[in-house]
C-alpha cells in the first residue's frame, strides 16, 4: 500500500469526485431529465419547499425553514401515512403563524412525483440514512435546491457519488444538516485558535453521552394509525426481513439502515473539530465498544474511536448508558484549551482551569435560515456538500474499523478505506 502522504482537503475532495466519475457514478446514473432550472429568489418572492422523509427531523427542519419570510411548504413525501398526517398539521400551524393561510400541502408516497413538480423550488431530504442516496441524486437531476440531513451518506462510496453529482450542478444551493457550522460562537472561538491564543492543538477529545437505559429511547415503537410501506422502506437493502417495529422506528441502531452513534451523533462534534482544525483529512482510525445496555440495538451503545491526522489525534466517545458528560469537545493546545459543552464555549489559558479568559454562548441565525438566505443571494452555504462528505469520512472509517476489528487507513491514491499497515505511519 502507498505510504499516506499529507493530503489537503482540496486534493481529497477533487480526487473523490474523479473517482466517482471514473466509476460511472453521479447524476447520469438515474437518467431522468432536469425538471427545472435552479435560480436565486428575491426577498419578496415565495420559495416553495417539499419534504422527502416527513418524520420528526424532516418536520422540524421544515418548520424552521417556514419560519423564514416568504417560505411555504407545498408537498410532503413519506412511506408512512401517520407521518404525513402529523407533519401536515405541524407545518401548517407554523405557516399560519407567519401569515400563510390556506396553503395546500400535497402528500405523496413516491418522491419522484414530488420532484417532478415545477413549482417545488427546494427539498428537504430527511429519510433514514439508507435512503439518502436515491432522493438526493434525483433532486440534483431535477434542479432542486437541497437541505440534506446528516449523516450525508450511508457509505463513503455513496458519498463520493453524491458529491460528484452535485458538482455537476454548481448553481444548486445544497446545505448539509450539520447545523453547528452556523453558530457564531464557534466562529468567535475559532478566531482565537487561529490567532494562536491556545497555541498548537495536538489532541482533541469529542463526546456525545446520553442515557437511554433509565430513560426511554425516544425512537422506541409507538402506536400509530395508517399504513407503513415496509417493502418500500427496505427497498435499497440487500438484507430484507419481516416487519419489525423496532427496526422501523429505531432504524438508527441497525446496520441495514444506519451507522449507529458514530455517524448519527458523532458527525456533529467531528464536523466542528474539522471546522476548528481547518477541515483536515484523517489518516487512520481504530474503534471498539459494544452493546452493553440496550440489547435491542445492533450498533454499539458504547463506542470509542480514535483517528490520526497529520498534526493531531482525535478521540470520540459515545455512551448511551449514562448521560453525565453530555456532548461537546475539548481542543487541547500547547498554550491553553477550548472547551465546548453543548453550545457553551469556554477558553482557558494553560494552567488555569478555574477561570476562563473568554466565554461564548450560542448565537446566530438557524442553519435552515442560512440555507434560505443562500437561495436568495447565491452565496455559499455554511455546510456545503463537500464538507458533508469530508466531515463524515472519519465516522465511516471508524465503523469499518469496528466491524472488521482492524485499524484502517485512508489510501489517498486509491481513494478508499484500506487496512492500515505500519509503513503508513507518519515518519518524524
Q: What is the DSSP string of 352-413?
A: --SS-SEEE---S--HHHHHHHHHHH-PPPSS-HHHHHHTTHHHHHHHHHHHHTS-EEEETT
Judge whether residue 12 has pLDDT over 80.
Answer: no
**Looking at the chain, how many residues does it have?**
428
Mean pLDDT in residue range 193-200: 98
Grid-cell match 432504524, residue found? 251
Q: Are both 128 and 213 inside the same structural domain?
A: no
- What strands lie across the sheet with 106-108, from one edge to the other? 106-108, 71-77, 47-52, 122-125, 145-148, 174-176
Percent of the chain with pLDDT strictly greater than 70: 90
Q: Cβ distance 141 to 32 under 8 Å?
A: yes
Cis ω for the linkage preceding 151 (within 30 of 0): yes
Question: Is residue 336 one of the residues assigned to a domain?
Answer: yes
Structural domain includes residue 82: yes
The CA-CA-CA angle for residues 9, 12, 15, to 5°, reads 145
Q: Are residues 64 and 212 in the same domain?
A: no
Strands (DSSP E) along 234-374, which ranges? Answer: 284-290, 302-308, 313-319, 327-333, 336-341, 344-349, 358-360
Residue 3 scores a pLDDT above 90: no
Tell me the mean pLDDT in the region 163-185: 97
Q: Which residues pair with 304 in a beta bridge?
A: 288, 317
- The sign of the dihedral angle between the CA atoms of 353, 354, 359, 361 is positive
Pair (302, 414) in one structural domain: yes
- Does position 30 have pLDDT exceeding 70, yes or no? no
125 - beta bridge partners? 52, 148
Tell me: pLDDT of 24 over 60.
no
pTM over 0.75: yes
Is the CB of residue 151 less than 8 Å from the CB of residue 259? yes
The 10s digit of each residue's pLDDT in 319-350 is 999 999 999 999 999 999 999 999 999 999 99
So what's the pLDDT on residue 373? 97
Residues 300 and 314 in one domain: yes
User: Which of 176, 179, 169, 171 is closest to 126 using CA atoms?
Assistant: 176
Spatial CB neighbours of 221, under 8 Å, sequence gap ≥ 6: 245, 246, 248, 249, 250
pLDDT of residue 4: 42
375 domain residue, yes or no? yes
Looking up residue 103, the CATH number of its domain turns out to be: 3.40.50.720
Residue 69 has pLDDT above 60, yes or no: yes
Average pLDDT for 26-55 = 74
Of all residues in the chain, what percent carry a pLDDT higher than 90? 86
In a domain, 73, yes or no: yes
Domain that holds residue 175: 9-180+367-385
pLDDT of 39 > 90? The answer is no
Do the beta carbons of residue 257 and residue 128 sit within 8 Å?
yes
> Do 171 and 194 sit in the same domain of this protein?
no
Q: Which residue has the higher pLDDT, 36 or 23?
A: 36
Q: Is residue 217 scored above 80 in pLDDT?
A: yes
Q: Which residues of 397-426 are buried (b: 16+ CB within 10 A; e: fewer)?
A: bbbbbbeeeebbbbbbeebebbebeeebee
Q: Sign of the CA dihedral 242, 244, 249, 255?
A: negative
| pLDDT tier, 1 (very low <50, low <70, confident <90, very high otherwise) | very low
Q: How confident is the model at residue 383 (pLDDT cuts 50, 70, 90)?
A: very high
Confidence class for position 105, pLDDT limits 50, 70, 90: very high
Judgement on whether residues 356 and 317 belong to the same structural domain of the protein = yes
The pLDDT value recorded for residue 124 is 98
The per-residue pLDDT for range 252-300, each reduced to its tens digit, is: 999 999 999 999 999 999 999 999 999 999 999 999 999 999 999 999 9
pLDDT at 2 (0 to 100):
36
pLDDT band at 428 (very low <50, low <70, confident <90, very high): very low
Angle at 207 between CA 202 and CA 212, to 5 degrees: 170
312/408 same-domain check: yes
pLDDT value at position 386? 96
Of the two residues 337 and 30, the one the predictor is more confident about is: 337
| Mean pLDDT over each residue of the chain, to the nearest integer | 92
For 188, the enclosing helix (H) or strand (E) is: helix 184-194
Long-range (24+ apart) CB contacts under 8 A made by 9-14 are 9/278, 9/279, 9/280, 9/281, 9/390, 11/412, 12/281, 12/390, 12/412, 13/163, 13/386, 13/389, 13/390
Please indicate, yes or no, whether residues 137 and 202 belong to a single structural domain of this protein. no
Q: Are 234 and 228 in contact (CB under 8 A)?
A: no
* Banded model confidence at residue 77, pLDDT cuts 50, 70, 90: very high
Q: Are residues 97 and 141 in the same domain?
A: yes
pLDDT at residue 112 is higher than 80: yes
The per-residue pLDDT for 32 is: 44
Q: Are residues 218 and 352 in the same domain?
A: yes
Q: How confident is residue 22, by pLDDT bands cut at 50, 70 and 90?
A: very low
Do 414 and 288 lie in a common domain? yes
Q: How many domains does the chain have?
A: 2
Amino acid at each position: 500500500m502507498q505510504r499516506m502522504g499529507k493530503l489537503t482537503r482540496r486534493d481529497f475532495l477533487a480526487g473523490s469526485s474523479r473517482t466517482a466519475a471514473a466509476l460511472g457514478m453521479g447524476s447520469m446514473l438515474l437518467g431522468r431529465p432536469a425538471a427545472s432550472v435552479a435560480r436565486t429568489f428575491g426577498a419578496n418572492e415565495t420559495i416553495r419547499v417539499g419534504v422527502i422523509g416527513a418524520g420528526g427531523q424532516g418536520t422540524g427542519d421544515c418548520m424552521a425553514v417556514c419560519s423564514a419570510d416568504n417560505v411555504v411548504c407545498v408537498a410532503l413525501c413519506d412511506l408512512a401515512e401517520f407521518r404525513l398526517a402529523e407533519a401536515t398539521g405541524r407545518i401548517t400551524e407554523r405557516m399560519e403563524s407567519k401569515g400563510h393561510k390556506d396553503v395546500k400541502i400535497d402528500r405523496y408516497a413516491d418522491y419522484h412525483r414530488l420532484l417532478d413538480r415545477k413549482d417545488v423550488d427546494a427539498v428537504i431530504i430527511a429519510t433514514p440514512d439508507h435512503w439518502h442516496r436515491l432522493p438526493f441524486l434525483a433532486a440534483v437531476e431535477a434542479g432542486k435546491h437541497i437541505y440534506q440531513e446528516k449523516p450525508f451518506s450511508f457509505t463513503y462510496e455513496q458519498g463520493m457519488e453524491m458529491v460528484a453529482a452535485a458538482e455537476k450542478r454548481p448553481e444548486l444551493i445544497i446545505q448539509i444538516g450539520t447545523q453547528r457550522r452556523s453558530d457564531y460562537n464557534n466562529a468567535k472561538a475559532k478566531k482565537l485558535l487561529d490567532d494562536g491564543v491556545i497555541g498548537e492543538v495536538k489532541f482533541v477529545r469529542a463526546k456525545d453521552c446520553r442515557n437511554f437505559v433509565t430513560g426511554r429511547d425516544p425512537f422506541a415503537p409507538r402506536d400509530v394509525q395508517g399504513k407503513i410501506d415496509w417493502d418500500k422502506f427496505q427497498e435499497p437493502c440487500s438484507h430484507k426481513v419481516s416487519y419489525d417495529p423496532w427496526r422501523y422506528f429505531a432504524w438508527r441502531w441497525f446496520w441495514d439502515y444506519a451507522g449507529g452513534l458514530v455517524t448519527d451523533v458523532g458527525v456533529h462534534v467531528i464536523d466542528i473539530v474539522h471546522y476548528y482544525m481547518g477541515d483536515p483529512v484523517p489518516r487512520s482510525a481504530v474503534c471498539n465498544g459494544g452493546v452493553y445496555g440496550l440489547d435491542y440495538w445492533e450498533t454499539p451503545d458504547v463506542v470509542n474511536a480514535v483517528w490520526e491526522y497529520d498534526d493531531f489525534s482525535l478521540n470520540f466517545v459515545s455512551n448511551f448508558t449514562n448521560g453525565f458528560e453530555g456532548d461537546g469537545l475539548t481542543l487541547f493546545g500547547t498554550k491553553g484549551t477550548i472547551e465546548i459543552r453543548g453550545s457553551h464555549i469556554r477558553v482557558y489559558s494553560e494552567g488555569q482551569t478555574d477561570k476562563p479568559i473568554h466565554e461564548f454562548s450560542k448565537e446566530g441565525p438557524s442553519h435552515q435560515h442560512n440555507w434560505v438566505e443562500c437561495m436568495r443571494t447565491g452565496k455559499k452555504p455554511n455546510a456545503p456538500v463537500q464538507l458533508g462528505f469530508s466531515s463524515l469520512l472519519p465516522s465511516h472509517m471508524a465503523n469499518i474499523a469496528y466491524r472488521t476489528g482492524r485499524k484502517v487507513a485512508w489510501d489517498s491514491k486509491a481513494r478508499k478505506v484500506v487496512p492500515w499497515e505500519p509503513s503508513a505511519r507518519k515518519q518524524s
